[in-house]
A and B are shown apart, each in its own frame.
Chain A
Amino acid sequence: GVCPLGPVPHTTDQLYQQAMEDAAWHHMPHPSDSERIRQYLPRNPCPTPPYHHQMPPPHSDTVEFYQRLSTETLFFIFYYLEGTKAQYLAAKALKKQSWRFHTKYMMWFQRHEEPKTITDEFEQGTYIYFDYEKWGQRKKEGFTFEYRYLEDRDLQ
């Protein structure tokens, strides 16, 4: 750099400011300091080699991208990234693939076949659901899905 007007000695105040900034530099804010707590996947920055992807692919924050992910990935995002835009997009993609969320069991269900019975209050038949404790898909025959437990908010 150039200093066309020549250097001017710093005042005592400025020297003090610089010393305080130097001290602050040793404990800079961490990215997570200004984010909501991430219970399961906390940020853990570390040096990665330059030949690795440093950035996710472009447009990976659209519902179209999420629809290209496997259902297991979507379930993982749903349960492990709570309260984020990612969770919202995952829920949206799952809904588009005819999965329905059960608010009492907190699990996602998909019809395996046309329900045997459909009333105003419930439907009954065979369903595939995702068990987050066993971490896998299960089949349940003769299951009654009560509509009052159906999460039916329109995700805009």
Chain B
Amino acid sequence: ERAHGGPNFMMHSGISQASEYDDPPGLREKAEYLLREWVNLYHSAAAGRDSTKAFSAFVGQMHQQGILKTDDLITRFFRLCTEMCVEISYRAQAEQQHNPAANPTMIRAKCYHNLDAFVRLIALLVKHSGEATNTVTKINLLNKVLGIVVGVLLQDHEVRQSEFQQLPYHRIFIMLLLELNAPEHVLETINFQTLTAFCNTFHILRPTKAAGFVYAWLELISHRIFIARMLAHTPQQKGWPMYAQLLIDLFKYLAPFLRNVELTKPMQILYKGTLRVLLVLLHDFPEFLCDYHYGFCDVIPPNCIQLRNLILSAFPRNMRLPDPFTPNLKVDMLSEINIAPRILTNFTGVMPPQFKKDLDSYLKTRSPVTFLSELRSNLQVSNEPGNRYNIQLINALVLYVGTQAIAHIHNKGSTPSMSTITHSAHMDIFQNLAVDLDTEGRYLFLNAIANQLRYPNSHTHYFSCTMLYLFAEANTEAIQEQITRVLLERLIVNRPHPWGLLITFIELIKNPAFKFWNHEFVHCAPEIEKLFQSVAQCCMGQKQA
């Protein structure tokens, strides 16, 4: 948070001022009069291009009425205007309900009529506040107004509960976003701060905080102009972390409902919308999904195979992936296999400092052995089935140990391979987790590995070798069955499938060294056997036939 008076402060003061009702007498009437005047001016023919003529006349009126005297009065004016626009929308909706014969298009037009005028007034006030070059006052005003609208929304949401309507707020936010992204020099100079203000607004209104706003919220964050500005237009990818945060907000909201697989109709619609947004991002901004895959996978429940596959299938556009079905494909000959992927999430931060210290010490000295035996209790957080483990900590541990192992092998002047990854402190940890954890823990552990099986890079290669090695060296069939399960369940869903996942699974069923087909679980039930045959056919048959 910036110092007192910064944009964040302005937004939060706006939010808290939205609930102050000790208005000076007569102010509501003044605001009502002014807003009505402005709505008429905005729609009049003489308003001029972008309402500029009407605006200069209107600012005079605002002065006359004493609204522009103090910041406090201006703030109150915005709050009262927002409340009036919201009230008009509720009245219009009520009219629709009481009179079903009324034309719904006209009802909506009535809401838009007022909301659009109010939005233009905000946009003009922001644009013309202070000197032309004074960006600070403009941005402060924008944050203030957004804060006020947020405050009014949250209060309305809490008071009206299931009667809450998204429409007025949705339109205020999207129209203001469009107005402030017009191709104009003044606006271009403050564009990044404008986007930051909107990101903060959307983050405050995330669905866990305002669930009644969730559909409008998803529309806002997936609007084509917003995505284009955040991910394409803003230089140096400065918009990427903020946009990633909004997606994480969405996944966090969905997680408890998705993990239980009892999806209500409204939840299904929201899930479908999420899939669509991800498909757009996968197609248009694959590098974005690549860079933030770790943070996303950390919050998506393990059973959401397709959601995660969309993220894990992303790869940089300049890369050509070799067809995984090519016979005798030599993965270790690919030059990309030595290049590490970018991870833009600080995953080591999840580890408690003492745990991280002990871990580093073990990786360095391969002692004490007690570190391994205590590992399980460090990862386990409760005894409730289904909630036993700290999933974020397992994910962090797996990726950290893997990246340390890669660095260690490189330092020895070698590259990761089936033989160089073995017999090390790093592999001790992985083998110990595979043997020592219960079914739930092992499932999460293997998923953490499978989350790294993506496009050709050093992590994919290392973790592919690790998964195969764990299969080969397993002391019980249960481990092998679970590895097979984790790989298979990510492949029997519809496309896309991550490249590294396919490579790993094909190696497992093709390479006779793994004796895959000799295992009991492959033949445990006729439908499972059929499934394996069809997957094997799909993986190997096509090209050879």
Contact B109 A8 (CB under 8 A): no
Contact partners of B211 in chain A: CB under 8 A: 16-18, 20-21, 24
Chain A residues in 8 Å Cβ range of B440: 5
Interface string of A1-45 (1 = CB under 8 A from B): 111111110110110111111111101111011101100001010
Contact of B259 among A5, A24, A36 (CB under 8 A): A5
- Residues A34 and B266 in contact, CB atoms below 8 Å apart: no
CA distance A2 to B269 in the complex (A): 19
Residues of B within 8 A of A16 (CB): 211
CA distance A21 to B166 in the complex (A): 11
Chain A nearest Cβ from B384, distance in angstroms: 8
Task: Tell whether, in the assembled complex, residue B165 and residue A27 are in contact, meaning their CB atoms are under 8 Å apart.
Answer: yes
Min CB–CB distance A17 → chain B (angstroms) = 4
User: Are A29 and B170 closer than 8 Å at their CB atoms?
Assistant: yes
In the complex, which residues of chain B have a beta carbon less than 8 angstroms from the beta carbon of A20?
157, 161-162, 164, 210-212, 214
B-side interface residues, number (CB < 8 Å): 55
The answer to whether residues A29 and B215 also contact, given A2-B303, A18-B267, A20-B161 and a CB cut-off of 8 A, is yes
Q: In the complex, what residues of A have CB within 8 A of residue B214's CB?
A: 20-21, 24
For the complex, give the distance between the alpha carbons of A24 and B162 in Å: 7
Given the known A-B contacts A21-B214, A23-B162, are A8 and B170 also in contact in the complex, defined by CB atoms under 8 Å?
Answer: no
Main secondary structure of the interface of B (DSSP, over half): helix
Find out whether the CB atom of B219 lies under 8 angstroms from the CB atom of A14. Answer: no
Set of chain A residues within 8 Å of B264, measured between Cβ atoms:
18, 22
Select one of A3, A23, A25 contacting B261, CB under 8 A: A3
Cβ of B526 within 8 Å of any chain A Cβ, yes or no, is no
Residues on the A chain within 8 Å of B219, using CB: 29, 33-34
Q: Is B291 an interface residue (CB 8 A)?
A: no
Q: How far is the CB of B258 from chain A (nearest CB, A)?
A: 8
Mask, B243-268, CB within 8 Å of A = 1, is 00000000001001101111111110
Given contacts A8-B260, A21-B267, A27-B166, contact A34 B303 (CB under 8 A): no
B215 & A42 in contact (Cβ 8 Å cutoff): no
**Cβ–Cβ < 8 Å partners of A18 in chain B:** 211, 257, 264, 267
Q: Contacts of A27 on B, CB cut-off 8 Å?
A: 93, 165-167
**Complex contact B215–A3 (CB within 8 A):** no
A interface size (C-beta, 8 A): 33
Name the residue on B nearest A1 (C-beta): B261
CB distance from A35 to the nearest CB of B (A): 9
Residue B406 CB within 8 A of the other chain: no
Q: Is the CB of A19 within 8 A of B259?
A: no
The answer, among A13, A17, A21, A42, for a CB contact under 8 Å with B105, is A42
Give the distance to chain B from A102, nearest Cβ to Cβ, in Å.
19
Complex Cα spacing A14 to B266, Å: 14
Q: A5-B386, A5-B440, A17-B253 are in contact. Are A23 and B303 (CB under 8 A)?
A: no
> Taking the complex as formed, is B223 at the interface, i.e. its CB lies under 8 A from any CB of chain A?
yes
Instruction: Identify A24's interface contact among B171, B213, B303, B385, CB under 8 A.
Output: B213
Q: Which residues of B contact A11 (CB under 8 A)?
A: 256
> In the docked arrangement, what's the CA distance between A13 and B23, Å?
34
Closest chain-A Cβ to B103's Cβ sits at a distance in Å of 10
For A2, list chain B residues within 8 Å (CB).
261, 303, 489
Whether a CB of chain A sits under 8 angstroms from the CB of B302 is: yes
Chain B, range 210-237, C-beta contacts under 8 Å to A: 210-216, 219, 223
B94–chain A nearest beta-carbon distance, Å = 12
In the assembly, what is the distance between CA of A16 and CA of B260, in Å? 16
Which A residues between 64 and 121 are near B, CB-CB below 8 angstroms? none
Cβ A5 vs Cβ B174 within 8 A: no
Query: Quick check: A10 and B164 within 8 Å, CB to CB?
Result: no
B74 at the interface (CB under 8 A from A): no
- With A4-B302, A30-B108 as known contacts, state yes or no: A24 contacts B212, CB within 8 Å: yes
Residue-wise, chain B 471-510 has the 8 Å CB interface mask toward A (1 for contact) of 0000000000000000001000000000000000000000
In the bound assembly, the distance between CA atoms of A61 and B362 in angstroms comes to 62
CA distance A8 to B207 in the complex (A): 20
B266 touches A24 (CB 8 A): yes
Contacts of A6 in B (CB 8 A): 385-386
13 A-B pairs whose Cβ atoms sit less than 8 Å apart in the complex? A1-B261, A4-B302, A7-B259, A16-B211, A17-B211, A18-B267, A23-B163, A24-B212, A24-B215, A27-B166, A29-B167, A33-B216, A34-B170
By a beta-carbon cutoff of 8 Å, the part of chain A in contact with chain B is: 1-8, 10-11, 13-14, 16-25, 27-30, 32-34, 36-37, 42, 44
6 further A-B contacts with Cβ under 8 Å, apart from A1-B263, A2-B489, A23-B164, are A5-B385, A11-B256, A19-B162, A28-B215, A30-B167, A33-B170
